[in-house]
């Protein structure tokens, strides 16, 4: 999709810090991290949200998820991690290309703030 920033990241026309890539998915650091190591995992196929995600895209995306979580764990040594996904503007989605957030947690002073509130 020509006006999608995550499709542009996949094409390489917008730079990113890559964490993981295979034939089906790309993981990269969030530009405005909620904590150190905040990463996004996206399918290479443009899918708007969970409601429009074909099963094979979900299978490939979630097959990669533990690899991303463990790569972040190895690099940053957090004590825990939130994974989450927002679907629809009301639910806090701001980029309409499906993405799964990996938010490492380090304890009370990790700076984590939930920025998504129901509108």
Residue 7 binding result from Zn ion, ligand 5GP, none, given CB thresholds of 5 to 8 Å by partner type: Zn ion
Q: Find the part of the chain contacting ligand 5GP (CB under 6 A) among 29-37, 41-49, 53-61, 102-110.
A: 29-37
Q: Which of 12, 13, 32, 118 binds ligand 5GP (CB under 6 A)?
A: 32
| Nearest by Cα to 9 from 41, 54, 48 | 41
Q: Distance (Å, rounded) from C-alpha 56 to C-alpha 69?
A: 21
Based on CB atoms, which residue is closest to ligand 5GP, 35 or 93? 93
Q: Distance (Å, rounded) from C-alpha 29 to C-alpha 36?
A: 10
The phi, psi pair for 32, rounded to 5°, reads: -130, 75
Provide the CA 112 distance to its chain's centre, in angstroms: 16
Residue 92 binding result from Zn ion, ligand 5GP, none, given CB thresholds of 5 to 8 Å by partner type: ligand 5GP
Based on CB atoms, which residue is closest to Zn ion, 34 or 47? 47
Does position 30 bind ligand 5GP by CB under 6 A?
A: yes
Strand segments, DSSP code E, in the chain are: 18-21, 25-29, 39-43, 80-84, 100-105
Residue 101 is a catalytic residue: no
Residue 28 binding result from ligand 5GP, Zn ion, none, given CB thresholds of 5 to 8 Å by partner type: ligand 5GP
Active site residues: 99
């Amino acid at each position: 999709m020509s006006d999608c920033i995550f499709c542009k990241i996949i094409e390489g026309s917008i730079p990113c810090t890559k964490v993981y890539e295979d034939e089906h998915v790309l993981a990269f650091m969030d530009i405005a991290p909620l904590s150190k190591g905040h990463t996004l995992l996206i399918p290479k196929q443009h899918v708007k949200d969970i409601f429009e995600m074909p099963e094979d895209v979900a299978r490939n995306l979630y097959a990669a998820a533990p690899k991303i979580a463990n790569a972040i764990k190895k690099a940053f040594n957090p004590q825990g991690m939130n994974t989450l996904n927002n679907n629809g503007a009301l639910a806090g989605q701001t980029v309409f290309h499906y993405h799964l957030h990996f938010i490492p947690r380090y304890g009370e002073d990790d700076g984590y703030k939930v920025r998504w509130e129901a509108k």
